[in-house]
Structure 1
Amino acid sequence: MRRPTVRTLLALVTLATLAPSAAAQAPAARRTEWLYVWATATDTARTVRATRAARRDTTPPRRRGVVLLTVDLRPASPTRGQVTDAILADTGGRHAHHTEHALASDGLLFANDFGTGRTHRFDLRTPGMPRLLGSFTTAGPLADPHSFVRLADDRVLATFQTRVAGGAPGGIAELRRNGTPLRWASAAAPGVDSTALLPYSLEVVPALDRVVTTSTSMTSDVGVHVQVWRLSDLALLHTLALPPAPAHAGHTPGDGETPNTGASIAHDSVHHRYPGEPRLLDDGRTVMLGTFTCGMYRLTGLDARVPRLEFVHAFPGADCAVPARVGRWWVQTVPVQRALVTLDVQDPAHPREVARLAFDGATYPHWLAADASGTRLVMDGGATPTDARLHLVTLDRGTGALAADASLPVIDLSRVSVPGLGVVRALPHGAVFGPGR
């Protein structure tokens, strides 16, 4: 997720039928027993009001490093819901940001500290007992890694926002599991301002030999492009500008309130700015993506001469960040509504809302990830410097309905003991589920 725009800078399976049958509820998967949380460790003494101005990198509370926390989710465990392990990755860490959105089959996790431009690697192969393996900052001429996806051979494809030499354009790189680069490519495109090309997140489309990246800056209000690459050789094929959305698309003016003031939002045609997270749909050919200005776009014809990028939906407000796509359901964080919203995207040209789960007024939904079954989600307010809570949510794969986890709805990280730091307030950002033994 983006730092959701400079205004909020640094501080953002398949379903067989609609019937809620056992088969529709979840595929076979190893039981989720652990939650790994990438967090910024801060002082506990001071609390800052969660306004957009307060979510800047220079605002107290004082940051003391980045940590990986392990939370016990085992149903019968006496430490269920508690932090059982904490690894201090870097005392100089500034901004625990993206991790991978799901734990890869090799049990390794890439976790990004965008404030320092450093990504840390963790070994999670022993459930509940992670190890820090190392870190990296660059790939050839590229710097500031941001997002990561796994390829079929467990190699890693990553976006990089900038160049080692400084500034945009960034690019993408294929990495070994130890973080060393194998190959890379620049996002520079003929006829497009290179300073606007800062790869943010990505999705792989294996059936079409394609990669889709979004372009949104983490440090300035820049970003309106999507790029299409050939996976086999990382050749850049297309650079597409998101078309503006119709005014008040998908909602009415004032449908929601601003997080700070409660004032009504005046919506206009800005839903195309700051593209964020792309996700491949079940057909293996269509990619949907959201923007931090709360628009949704459908990308088709990825193997055609010119792919088609079209607006299909919008939510009210701003700073819509990380979604979870589970079968036909697209679950979106919508901060202005303090809610998660489920869309049915079986017809991706016409998404429709089927469910909504609202949280208290102090919650600013940002990060979202699903477990291997697709029936359990973790959400946090990764863009705020005050909300140290994780919310566990259940998803009905038959209907798309959302509910707070009845047995463990909230995990509080406001006082966590970290070796080398003592007791800290842990502000979560990336989080992934892990299986048991």
Structure 2
Amino acid sequence: MKKTISCCALLLALISPRIADAAPGSSHYLFVWAMEAQHPHASVPEMTPADIPARRSGLGLGKDFLAVFDIRPGPSFGKLVAMLPVGDAAQAHHTNYAEPPNDILYANDWLGDRTYVFDLRDPVHPRLARKFGSVGAFGYPHSFVHLSNGNTLATFQYSGGFNHAAGGLVEFDPQGKVVKTASAAVAGHPDVRPYSLAVDEKHDRVVTGSADMMAAQVSHVAQVWRLSDLKLMQTMPLPPQPDWYYDTAADSSEPRLLADGKTVVVPTFNCGLFLVRNLTGDHPTLQHVYDFGYRTCEVPVAVGNFLVEAAQSGHAIVSLDMRDPEHPREVSRILLPPDEYPHWLALEPGGGRLVVTGYGALDTKVRFATIDRQTGELKLDPAVIDFTRTWPDGWQGSAMPHGAVFSNP
């Protein structure tokens, strides 16, 4: 009898992790926004519309496309289940940072000034719902956030043409109709270029970073808006920080709302981290609270009490404990191979998996990591999805992934 019980216990122990891995609530699919590229590592001009022909030729670009991969644990992991090519590629870039509750995903080709909107309600049969370019004077949208009323709020980098002047915010209804627009232009700050955003609906606020995608100028501010009418409330200078060479108070990038639902932090591309003080007051300000120690930091993700940052120049992903936002504390760090430069992070809803895309060797693959939601501990997952393959549309060779999000459970 004891032997039977021991065997049963052993069998249960062996299968329990796999049951946990495949537990209800985990994501079945990964949606990846990418572009076909025969020469993904080629050095090409890429930062103005005039460079698009040379960029397409040098990289050997084909189409932008949305790919759907099975990411359930087991033998089907990494299987391509759908591919939806759309327009000619110039620079497949950002999507929403997570799949919205209504399963409508925005994805932009930034340099091409084209945004595609995908219906993912049937995840293995994605559908192109619509596409758009500039909206009035605003062009080159960058980041997208789903609102609880079903609308989508987007940052647009420019107005009046490519890098002509500050862009602003545009709010779309669920059918794609423009319901509100607002300019980010403010006297005395000609270098404002809305980059990404954090939305605090409870307190009727939006915080936007300011950084130019083409790096033609440097910005030293972030901005606070009233969500309900998109009124620009304050343009906040980033307090300058002493540094012998790099300016950590330059080019605010990807603001994030923390788990308490009221605290917003603003990273910079030079790896500074700033806390928004008095967010709902008349005069919000920024306080420097942390230096990641690297000098190129990219897309972060908030995971409960932790902020996870892609520290590109250090080939690292870093987890900070943010329970005391004035005194962030590093709790974990993982190092990627030295030829991988992480850029994009996204979190599995309700889970602990992170998806990573980037540059260098990450130009043509998707990597995964995990985070313990209780401790913030990070672990690098050996699993990768290779984007060099024969694709269903007939493309032979490489593709370059960028925005990637897990499916809703």
Class of the TM-score when normalised by the shorter of the 2 chains = 0.7 to 0.9
Indicate whether 1:151 and 2:125 are aligned: no
Indicate whether 1:181 and 2:178 are aligned: yes
CA distance in 2, matches of 1:221, 1:428: 27
- 1:217 maps to amino acid: D
- Asked if the contact 2:289/2:328 (under 8 Å) is kept, the reply is yes
What secondary structure is seen at the aligned counterpart in 2 of 1:348? coil
Q: 1:71, CA displacement in angstroms?
A: 1.0
2:314 paired residue number: 337
Deviations 1:262-285 (A, max 9, x none): xxxxx5350011111000112222
CA distance in 1, matches of 2:174, 2:399: 27
Q: 1:327, CA displacement in angstroms?
A: 0.8
- 2:304 maps to amino acid: G
CA gap 1:55/1:296 in 2 versus in 1, 3 angstroms: farther
Structure with the larger RCO, 1 or 2 (CA within 8 Å, 6+ apart): 1
What secondary structure is seen at the aligned counterpart in 2 of 1:35? strand
CA gap 1:343/1:224 in 2 versus in 1, 3 angstroms: same
Q: 1:244, CA displacement in angstroms?
A: 1.4
CA gap 1:74/1:287 in 2 versus in 1, 3 angstroms: same
Deviations 1:329-370 (A, max 9, x none): 111111222111111111111111111111111110100000
Which structure 2 segments of 5+ residues have no match?
A: 1-19, 48-53
CA distance in 2, matches of 1:85, 1:216: 34
1:88 paired residue number: 85
Q: 1:72, CA displacement in angstroms?
A: 0.9
Which structure 1 segments of 5+ residues have no match?
A: 1-24, 248-266
Compute the RMSD of aligned alpha carbons: 2.2
- 2:41 maps to amino acid: V
- 1:413 maps to amino acid: F
Indicate whether 1:274 and 2:251 are aligned: yes
Indicate whether 1:354 and 2:354 are aligned: no
What secondary structure is seen at the aligned counterpart in 2 of 1:387? helix
What secondary structure is seen at the aligned counterpart in 2 of 1:275? coil
Deviations 1:97-147 (A, max 9, x none): 000000011011000110111110111111322111121112233111111
Tell me which moved more, 273-282 or 130-139.
130-139
Deviations 1:347-402 (A, max 9, x none): 11111111111111111010000010141100011x45872111111111111111
What secondary structure is seen at the aligned counterpart in 2 of 1:365? strand
Structure number with the higher helix fraction is: 2
1:393 paired residue number: 369
- 1:417 maps to amino acid: W
2:41 paired residue number: 48
TM-score, length basis structure 1:
0.82
What secondary structure is seen at the aligned counterpart in 2 of 1:48? coil
Indicate whether 1:230 and 2:223 are aligned: no
Structure number with the higher strand fraction is: 2
CA gap 1:246/1:350 in 2 versus in 1, 3 angstroms: farther
Indicate whether 1:424 and 2:397 are aligned: yes
Indicate whether 1:135 and 2:131 are aligned: yes
What secondary structure is seen at the aligned counterpart in 2 of 1:323? strand
CA distance in 2, matches of 1:179, 1:320: 32
Q: 1:29, CA displacement in angstroms?
A: 7.2
One of 69, 84, 94 as aligned partner of 2:67? 69
Q: 1:65, CA displacement in angstroms?
A: 2.1
Q: 1:217, CA displacement in angstroms?
A: 0.9
Deviations 1:277-319 (A, max 9, x none): 0001122221111111111111120111211201111123332
1:372 paired residue number: 349
What secondary structure is seen at the aligned counterpart in 2 of 1:270? coil
- 2:66 maps to amino acid: L
CA distance in 1, matches of 2:105, 2:152: 11
CA gap 1:29/1:312 in 2 versus in 1, 3 angstroms: farther
CA distance in 2, matches of 1:424, 1:134: 28
TM-score, length basis structure 2:
0.87
2:3 paired residue number: none
- Asked if the contact 1:200/1:276 (under 8 Å) is kept, the reply is yes
CA distance in 2, matches of 1:276, 1:153: 26
One of 309, 315, 319 as aligned partner of 2:292? 315
Q: Which has the larger radius of gyration?
A: 2
Indicate whether 1:33 and 2:28 are aligned: yes
- Asked if the contact 2:101/2:408 (under 8 Å) is kept, the reply is no
- Asked if the contact 1:47/1:386 (under 8 Å) is kept, the reply is no
